[in-house]
A = this chain, B = another copy of it.
Amino acid sequence: MPLNDHTVKAFDEDIGQLRGLIAQMGGLAEHAIAAAMEALRRHDLESAREIVAGDKRIDALQIEVEQLAVRIIALRAPLADDLREVVAALKIAGVVERIGDYAKNIAKRVPMIESHGEIEPLSVLPAMSALAVQMVHDALDAFAARDATAAVEVCDRDRQVDDFYNSLFRVLVTHMMENPKTIGQVAQLLFIAKNLERVGDHATNIAEMIYFAATGTHMAERDRGDIPTS
């Protein structure tokens, strides 16, 4: 494979395009999670429907990333660092698409939670959501900057989201015990809390992929702590 200036420049342009598509996907997914939490808070069914419909844009971008990544691998046969970066982009797009799915899933549950005024734990969810969305944002910033140190820092924050989830799990179970007639609705909140916890895990996955792409070594395996102990 001749490695001349022309090849390098073309590859850099390809990678730039990949990064741009992923930044777009990330922006849409972050916004979708935040909008879903807002729709939940205001019981806004119209906005919830728009979030569900809007997920198709994220899916379409993922397909674009996939096609571009495969084309780059086939045409330019990148090696070592460059190949790791293209593969990371391919995988990160897959994870961001899943984050979009969580936003869609939360939005689909909005109509099922009617008596939101009576369920106090609902007021805790936006804070958990903000933490998880910030992790996604910072992970994608680390990708744009190819910054392995920033990626490690994102992973370290996953514990906070897990703690939030575990505490919320207990609060929701207690709420169910004390208000049996809201159990069906609170069960939906349990799933929403779990979705947000998974968004944090996915931000961690992205950060691990960035770390591997940038350094060629895997970040030490961490305990995800995603199962509540009570």
Residues of A in contact with B (beta carbons under 8 Å apart):
66, 70, 73-75, 77-78, 83, 87, 91, 94, 105, 108-109, 112, 169, 172-173, 176-177, 180-181, 183-184, 187, 190-191, 194, 226-230
**Least distance between A118 CB and chain B CB atoms (Å):** 16
Partner of A73, one of B73, B91, B191: B73
Partner of A105, one of B73, B75, B191, B227: B227
> Could you write out 11 A-B pairs with CB less than 8 Å apart?
A70-B83, A73-B73, A74-B74, A75-B77, A112-B227, A112-B228, A173-B184, A177-B180, A187-B187, A187-B190, A191-B194
Most B CB atoms within 10 A — which of A172, A177, A184, A191? A184
Ranked 10 nearest A-B pairs via Cβ: A74-B77, A177-B180, A108-B227, A73-B73, A173-B184, A176-B183, A173-B183, A73-B74, A177-B183, A70-B87
Q: Which residue of B lies closest to A174 (CB)?
A: B183
